[in-house]
Amino acid sequence: MKDNGPFLQVSNLSKRFGGVQAVDSVSFELRQGEMLGIIGPNGSGKTTLINLITGFYKPNAGKVLYQGKDITGLMPYKIADLGIVRTFQMVRPFYQLPAFKNLIIPLYSPRVKRLAGGKYGDRDAIAIDLLEEVGFERESLVPYKITSALPHGYLKKMELARSIAMRPELVILDELFSGLSMAELASMLPIIEKMISEGITIIMVEHRLKELFRIANRVIVLNHGTKIAEDIPKDVMKSEEVKKAYLGTEVT
Amino acid sequence: MKPAIGMKYRKERIDRGIKARTEDIFALLSFREMLYLLAPRAILLLAVFITPLFLGMYGKKVLINTAVFALLAMSWDFLISVGMVSLGQALFFGVGAYIAGILNDSLKWSPLFTIPIATLGGGAICSILLAPVLRLRGVYFAMVTLAMPLMLMRIIEATKIFGGTEGLHGLAPLPGVWLELYLSLGMVIAVLFFLRRLINTDYGLVLSGIRDNDRSVLSSGINIYWYKMQAVFVASAIGAFAGAFMTHAYMFVGMPAFELDYSILPIAAGVVGGTGTFAGSMLGAFILVTLSEILRGVGGVRIVFYSVFLVIFIVVLPEGIFHYLQRKYHQFERWVKVEE
Amino acid sequence: MFQGMLIYGLINSVILALVTLGFNLTFGISGVANFGYGGLYILAGYTIWILFNLLKIPYLVAIVLSILFTAFIGGLMYRFILLRLRGLTNLEVIASLAVGVIILEMFRVAGFIGFEYTLPGFISGSVPIGETLVDAQRLFIVGIGMVLALFLWIFTRYTKTGLAFRGIAQEERTALVLGINSDKMATLSVAFGSGLAAIAAAVILPLGIIAGEGGYTVLLNAVAVCIVGGLGSPGGAVVASFIIGYAQTFTATYLGSHWTMIVSLLAIILILVIKPSGLYGKQKEIEEKV
Amino acid sequence: MKQKVILMVGFFVLGIFFTFPHSAYAQLKPGEPVILGVTAPFAAQLESADALKVATMALEEINAKGGVSIKGVKHPLKIESQDTRDILPGVPVSEALLAVEKVILEKKAHAIAVGPSRSEAFLASMDLAAKYKVPMMACHSMTPVVAKKISEEYNKYKYVFRVGINSMHMAGIVTGMAAFLNKEFGFKKAYLMVQDVLWSRASSAFVESWLQKEGWEVLGKDFFPTGASDFSASLMKAKSTGAQVVIPMFDMPEAGILLKQRNAMKVQAVTAGNIVELAHPEAWKMFGDQIEGCLNTIYEAGNIPVKAMPKTLIFHEAFRKRWGREITIQHGVAPAYDSVYILAAAIERAGSVDPDALVIALEKTDYAGVNGRMRFDKNHEIVYGVNPNETAVNIGFQWQKPGKRVIVYPETVAEGKIQLPPGMKPVK
């Protein structure tokens, strides 16, 4: 793939809540097709950083450049429309509806329509295909099941499918692995690898370091809202500061 | 039937087989199942269109008022199902009422034109009025919607426009009570089925998405404020129709068109009937107005009784009457022993 | 003229703040929007009147009794109605509003209308401030307002109940873990708010008459001020009441008093458009629901 | 299939049968009562509550004599009352209209003796009276618009009559008293404080133009929304501009606060207008001697015992006997009493309850009532004036030591002269 400068460029982004400096002038760059991991102990400002990039919070200072375009402080839907799609830690689907209905909303978005050449197509069918892609067994009618009947793992997969449905260029996964069993995790990883192979750039905020390190090319470590380390997975934990930051907090 | 006290029991609810079948398999197996599906709607339609035949003149008038409140209640319910708590149905009602009144008073247009224009124009004006506050949520939005009609009312009082406190009188009436009756009732039914259909389309799914989880709708690249605006338009158009209709039904429009009752009663109706299904809030409106009419007999204490009933309703059936009935219709219940 | 505007503006603002106090406190603690507030306010007024005029009980005693009584009624309302609707905001609002209406209408039906239903007040006569005469009762109100504010400040910081209140207000679950019975506290908080309403009634009503209409006005003012100030933020409520209070007096003096309502409502809408979560509301992000 | 058709037809016939315009106007059978509607906000407003009381009194008196005789046959009177809840905040007019319609359509009232109180509501219900052809009497609403509408569209609104006074009459009392103040004490500076409702705006406009014509100086004119309870701003202005006469025009109880504040702020000026509380017989007890010298209006003579008008004395005595208290309101009570009698008389003259016949009979009314001599003008308004033998009468009185309402206007029935309030000096 061609590499025209930084795909996403975050330069000293900052956000303050009242007295607390949640994110303190964090900067990093991201090349297209890269797989970046963001880790850090609880309350180190990972999610806030994501909210800043995706426009859910307005930064007090700093810039976010996407493909050279300044997207700082744009409304979230505008940013999503550019192809920066995120998932959420807390999955809040339509519990009372069949699973595939949860993909209708992303499939309804202007971006999808545009990319599909001005027409949506049969959303239900597309939704079911997408779910099958992320491992909803069609023959056992899982995509048709009422959402509330699905186990947690499926909901997380559904969240992933939601992002894929948007035909994203950059996907930001917020603690996708949290609360997954080993088996569920194992079934999740290939999907992500597939996304990477399709050239989708990915940022992943994780606590499950082992799995993250297996797929990430690069890892950023946040602590108290500041970036304390940036390195390739196998070296990143070597830094003293990171050890200190993680001391006492579990490393799975 | 609740079994003897002492032993540990829990209530279990099971969908009636017929419901499961009629829901999933779309080829209905028997006439009976067809009936099961159609009965509620058929009964509703019959009830709505036949009862007027048995009512005296006054009964008809009451029914018309009921229809108006039913419309307002459904418009409130619709906003709720898009996650907007409105305390200002009076705004929609009043704007519609005044547009119709002004057009008829100054341009002498017949209700045939004023009502449709008021409906659409009212919808537009209200959407524009509320556009700046669409990003408010919960009680903050509610507060603004509560304030707006009161403010318009005061502005009319202060600036003496549109007949000031005295209002516009002697407007063109509708051609007759039958038309009034079936126009309003027909509208109620139309709106009911329209909204119920709308909310089940993909578009409606997006709307309910905004209510349940607007973050994920936003992150799907959908401009929720634009959608909220459309929802407000639909809701306020319904309210505006009600207002315009009342203007002509009573040949009068004035400041009272913005009064608090038009905001409170629909909410009460929605709450009593149960929100989210529109049928619920419609039912609620019918129950409440009927109640207040029955209570006319008792004179001054009427409002007291009325409120007492309301409180009891709410405490006994917080889910709303309609949801209760629906459950009874679709599920059967039994007490099963809890094994320890 | 202008000086008079300033003084009466201050008084008006303090009155608003007083009226709001109870509603705000209740909401701040237990998140209960007690729309029966107006009813309770008027209830307190009539109770004092009845105790004082019909049962010939000394004025101050009557006031104390009515405060307790109103608080008790408020508590009952929560315990037996609102508690069952915990979390269902719409129902809560409608139910409490209905209770308020019941109270107001009952007095109206019982024939409690007319000017004879007025309270004597504590001090009569008037004090000249600069070239403007101010009747003592109004100054008294300002005094009470400040005292009450101070008392609440101390109460919520240094007493066990007060701290418990704040506990609930900040983090209900944690409070539960710490063995604070949130239901009991909520009941208390509503009772407490109602009591404050009664105090406000006792000092403010002597300026006017006791009438059902007053109840609705009080409710509207309380809600407006609270929301403009940012829900559950006492400081915000005070600031808001000063903004609205002065806006009203100013318009009354220079524009004529049927513009007051318009101006104050306009102020409310504008403030909310500019600051979607009120003046001092906690930082509301897009995903939070109120 | 066939049965269905039959069924539908049946329904339709039934429907038509049920909905045929009710035929109450047909001649009454012997013994059938003549039904009069009373539709006013009883629970919310003393004027209306007492209006219902006196209407009941009139009814009892008439029925004691056997009722109304139509073509020689006696028919008992019957009152159907409905609370219209107008004047209450938050209540839409349609609520009042529905109450009126109930009385007309369901209770089959032949006429409405007391219409809604709030002018907005009354004006709106005029269209109902026209639509259903039911004579309706106004006892409270004072807006001139009523007369305007009747004169403009007589054939439509001819069913509406006004027994109570209108804003012009009310203004007449005020100007009458003002003229005296000017003549005796040379006062020339007035300040108007007006409730922002139809009648008072009309009255105040009339008074203001009169004052200016007479060369008075109108220092200010402030409107107050109904329910306003702080008049300090206006009083401040009145005080600072040195007003000699303050003219309040209110029919809301809150206006009593105006007096309290006036006393507290020591505004040295005669009040000459209407504050409901001042008209109250017990006002002296309520406000103390600070109200000495205050002038106030009694809209219709029947609402206060007037020695020169014996009927008023009897009326008040009867009220005391029947309801065990005084009439405390200055407006709309006595007219309700006369209204019933006028209607009864008209029905007897018309010899039927047919609305159009009734209207013709009503227009011929010439009845000596508690308010004076009652005759309708061409706009269906009772003519009010100064001589009880010529017209109905409005009253102006002054609070004088020792706590007594002394009637000072008009001279024909006056029981005393206007005196200067303590602490005020004549200007000439």
Strand bridging mode A226-231 / A218-223: antiparallel
| pLDDT top residue among A80 and C86 | A80
pLDDT higher than threshold 80 for residue D16:
no
Residue C134 has what pLDDT?
75
Q: Is residue C282 very low, low, confident or very high in pLDDT (cuts 50, 70, 90)?
A: low
Tokens coding A150: 């699905």
Residue D89 has what pLDDT?
67
Residue C286 has what pLDDT?
41
Q: Is residue C284 very low, low, confident or very high in pLDDT (cuts 50, 70, 90)?
A: very low
Q: Which of C81, C98, C289 sits opposite B138 (nearest CB)?
A: C289
Quote the strand ranges of B124-185, DSSP E.
none
Residue B183 has what pLDDT?
92
- DSSP-derived secondary structure for B200-251: HSHHHHHHHHHHHHHHHHHTTT--HHHHHHHHHHHHHHHHHHHHHHHHHHTT
Q: What is the mean predicted confidence (pLDDT) over B263-285? A: 88
Residue B5 has what pLDDT?
58
pLDDT higher than threshold 90 for residue B104:
yes
Whether D19 sits inside 8 A of B177 (CB atoms) is yes
Whether A108 sits inside 8 A of B205 (CB atoms) is yes
- Which of chain D's residues have a Cβ under 8 Å away from the Cβ of B296? 82, 99, 102
Is residue C278 domain-resident?
no
pLDDT higher than threshold 90 for residue C247:
no
- Chain D residue with Cα closest to B93: D92
Tokens coding D87: 């004047």
| pLDDT top residue among B272 and C277 | B272
pLDDT digits (tens, 9 = 90+) for C24-36: 888 888 778 888 9
Q: C146 is in which domain, residue-wise?
A: 18-211
User: Which 3-state string (H, E, C) describes A6-42?
Assistant: CCEEEEEEEEEECCEEEEEEEEEEECCCCEEEEECCC
Q: Residue window 41-60, chain D: list those with CB within 8 Å of chain B.
A: 42-43
Q: What is the mean predicted confidence (pLDDT) over D271-287? A: 87
Neighbours of chain A (3+ CB pairs under 8 A): B, C
Q: How many CB atoms lie within 10 A of CB B49?
A: 15
Q: Could you give the CA distance from residue B178 to residue B183 in angstroms, rounded to a whole number?
A: 8
Is residue C186 domain-resident?
yes
Q: Which of B50-59, C115-124, D144-153 is the most confident on average?
A: D144-153
Q: Is A246 on the interface with C (CB under 8 A)?
A: no
Q: Which of D12, D92, D98 sits opposite B61 (nearest CB)?
A: D98
Q: Classify C128 as helix, strand or coil.
A: strand
* Residue of D389, D285, D276, D257 whose CA lies nearest to D333: D276
Q: Could you give the CA distance from residue D384 to residue C261 in angstroms, rounded to a whole number?
A: 38
For chain A, helix (H) and strand (E) counts, in that order, are 10, 10
Residue with tokens 């929605």: B270
- Chain B residue with Cα closest to A122: B202
pLDDT digits (tens, 9 = 90+) for D305-347: 999 899 999 999 999 999 988 888 888 899 999 999 999 999 9
- Chain C residue with Cα closest to B300: C109
Residue B78 has what pLDDT?
95
- CA angle, A214 then A215 then A216, to 5°: 105
Q: Is D154 on the interface with B (CB under 8 A)?
A: no
Q: Classify residue D39 by its DSSP letter.
A: E
Phi/psi region, residue B160 (left: phi>0; alpha: psi -120 to 50; beta: rest), is left
Tokens coding C109: 């039906």
- Which of chain C's residues have a Cβ under 8 Å away from the Cβ of D89? 213, 216
Q: Which of C211, C256, C261 sits opposite D253 (nearest CB)?
A: C211
- Which of chain B's residues have a Cβ under 8 Å away from the Cβ of D101? 58, 61
Q: How far is A72 from chain B (nearest CA, A)?
A: 16
Whether B256 sits inside 8 A of D120 (CB atoms) is yes
Domains, in order of start, for chain D: 34-165+308-385 (3.40.50.2300), 168-298+394-413 (3.40.50.2300)
Residue C289 has what pLDDT?
32
Whether D82 sits inside 8 A of B251 (CB atoms) is no
Is residue C279 domain-resident?
no
Q: Is A106 on the interface with B (CB under 8 A)?
A: yes
Q: Which residues of A70-96 are buried (b: 16+ CB within 10 A; e: fewer)?
A: ebbebebbebbbbbbbbbbeebbbbee
Quote the strand ranges of chain A, DSSP E.
8-17, 20-30, 35-39, 61-66, 69-70, 84-86, 170-174, 201-205, 218-223, 226-231
- Interface of chain D toward chain C, CB-CB under 8 angstroms: 43-46, 49, 88-90, 196, 222-225, 227-230, 232-234, 236-237, 240, 253-254, 256-257, 260-261, 264-266, 276-277, 280, 282, 286, 328
Neighbours of chain B (3+ CB pairs under 8 A): A, C, D
Q: What is the mean predicted confidence (pLDDT) over D226-244? A: 82
Q: Which residues of C177-215 are buried (b: 16+ CB within 10 A; e: fewer)?
A: eeebebeebbbbbbbbbbbbbbbbbbbbbbbbbbbbbbb
Say what the ipTM of the complex is. Answer: 0.81
Residue C288 has what pLDDT?
38
State which amino acid sits at residue D155.
Answer: N
**What is the pTM (predicted TM-score) of this model?**
0.84
Contact D367, D341 (CB under 8 A): yes
Whether B267 sits inside 8 A of C94 (CB atoms) is yes
Burial of B109 (0-12, 13-18, 19+ CB in 10 A): middle
Domain count, chain C: 1
* Residue of A120, A116, A102 whose CA lies nearest to B206: A102
Strand order in the sheet with A170-174: A84-86, A170-174, A201-205, A35-39, A218-223, A226-231
Residue A252 has what pLDDT?
44
Q: Could you give the CA distance from residue C285 to residue C7 in angstroms, rounded to a whole number?
A: 39
Q: Is C32 on the interface with B (CB under 8 A)?
A: no
- Chain C residue with Cα closest to D221: C256
Q: How far is A54 from chain B (nearest CA, A)?
A: 8
Quote the strand ranges of D1-94, DSSP E.
34-40, 68-70, 73-75, 77-83
pLDDT digits (tens, 9 = 90+) for D158-214: 999 999 998 888 999 999 999 988 988 889 999 999 987 778 888 999 999 999 999
Tokens coding D428: 């000439």
Is residue C12 domain-resident?
no
For chain D, helix (H) and strand (E) counts, in that order, are 15, 18
Residue D134 has what pLDDT?
92
| Cα–Cα distances in angstroms (integers) from residue B303 to residues B239, B268, B300, in the given order | 24, 14, 7
Q: Which of C133, C211, C261 sits opposite D225 (nearest CB)?
A: C261
Q: Is C133 on the interface with B (CB under 8 A)?
A: no
Is residue C42 domain-resident?
yes
Q: Which of B132, B139, B147 sits opposite C290 (nearest CB)?
A: B139
Please give the backbone phi and psi of residue B129, each rounded to the nearest 5 degrees, phi first: -60, -40
Q: Classify B123 as helix, strand or coil.
A: helix
Contact B169, D149 (CB under 8 A): yes
Q: What is the mean pLDDT of chain B?
A: 85
User: How many residues does this entry show for chain D?
Assistant: 428
Whether B206 sits inside 8 A of A123 (CB atoms) is no
pLDDT higher than threshold 80 for residue D257:
yes
pLDDT digits (tens, 9 = 90+) for C171-195: 666 666 666 677 888 888 899 999 9
pLDDT higher than threshold 80 for residue B274:
yes
pLDDT digits (tens, 9 = 90+) for D352-407: 889 999 999 999 999 999 999 999 999 999 999 888 888 999 999 999 988 889 99
Q: Could you give the CA distance from residue D308 to residue C248 in angstroms, rounded to a whole number?
A: 49
Q: What is the mean pLDDT of chain C?
A: 82
| pLDDT top residue among B115 and B300 | B115
- CA angle, D144 then D101 then D43, to 5°: 75
- Chain D residue with Cα closest to C120: D286
User: How many residues does this entry show for chain B?
Assistant: 340
Whether B205 sits inside 8 A of A101 (CB atoms) is yes
Residue A1 has what pLDDT?
43
Neighbours of chain C (3+ CB pairs under 8 A): A, B, D
Residue D27 has what pLDDT?
65
Residue B226 has what pLDDT?
93
State which amino acid sits at residue C105.
Answer: E
pLDDT higher than threshold 60 for residue D416:
yes
- Which of chain B's residues have a Cβ under 8 Å away from the Cβ of A115? none
Tokens coding A251: 């490393």
pLDDT digits (tens, 9 = 90+) for B145-182: 888 888 898 888 888 888 877 788 888 888 888 888 88
Residue with tokens 């008074």: D207
Residue C287 has what pLDDT?
39
| pLDDT top residue among D9 and D222 | D222
Q: Which of B165, B177, B261 sits opposite D198 (nearest CB)?
A: B165
Q: Classify B86 as helix, strand or coil.
A: coil
pLDDT higher than threshold 60 for residue B236:
yes
- Which of chain B's residues have a Cβ under 8 Å away from the Cβ of D126? 169
Which regions in chain A score pLDDT beneath 70?
1-5, 18, 247-252
Q: Which of C283, C286, C287 sits opposite A17 (nearest CB)?
A: C283
- Chain D residue with Cα closest to C214: D227
Q: Could you give the CA distance from residue B247 to residue B168 in angstroms, rounded to a whole number?
A: 9
Is the preceding peptide bond at D402 cis, omega within 30 degrees of 0? Answer: yes
Contact C249, C9 (CB under 8 A): yes
Q: Could you give the CA distance from residue B100 to residue B104 in angstroms, rounded to a whole number?
A: 6
Tokens coding B290: 């009927």
Q: How distant is the alpha carbon of residue B235 from its chain centre?
A: 9
Q: How far is A235 from chain C (nearest CA, A)?
A: 37
- Which of chain D's residues have a Cβ under 8 Å away from the Cβ of C108? 43-44
* Residue of D425, D409, D190, D389 whose CA lies nearest to D309: D389
Q: What is the mean predicted confidence (pLDDT) over B48-61? A: 83
Q: How many CB atoms lie within 10 A of CB A198?
A: 9
The upper half-sphere exposure of residue D29, i.e. CA atoms within 13 Å in the direction of its Cβ, equals 1
Whether D101 sits inside 8 A of B61 (CB atoms) is yes
Q: What is the mean predicted confidence (pLDDT) over D123-130? A: 89
Contact D399, D293 (CB under 8 A): yes
- Interface of chain C toward chain D, CB-CB under 8 angstroms: 1, 4-5, 8, 12, 105, 108-109, 111, 113-116, 118, 124-126, 132-133, 135, 207-209, 211, 213-214, 216-217, 249, 252-253, 256-258, 260-261
The pLDDT > 90 percentage for chain D reads: 36
Q: Which of B58, B170, B302 sits opposite D106 (nearest CB)?
A: B58
Q: Which of B53, B65, B256 sits opposite D11 (nearest CB)?
A: B53
Please give the backbone phi and psi of residue A198, each rounded to the nearest 5 degrees, phi first: -80, 0
| Cα–Cα distances in angstroms (integers) from residue A12 to residues A17, A29, A224, A225, in the given order | 17, 11, 14, 11
Q: How far is C92 from chain D (nearest CA, A)?
A: 21
- Which of chain C's residues have a Cβ under 8 Å away from the Cβ of B263? none
H-run or E-run covering D149? helix D145-152
Q: Classify B34 as helix, strand or coil.
A: helix
Whether C285 sits inside 8 A of A51 (CB atoms) is yes
User: How many residues does this entry show for chain C?
Assistant: 290
Contact B94, B243 (CB under 8 A): yes
Q: Could you give the CA distance from residue A87 to residue A110 in angstroms, rounded to a whole number?
A: 19
Q: How many CB atoms lie within 10 A of CB D131?
A: 16
Q: Could you give the CA distance from residue B303 to residue C240 in angstroms, rounded to a whole number?
A: 34
Q: Is A246 on the interface with B (CB under 8 A)?
A: no
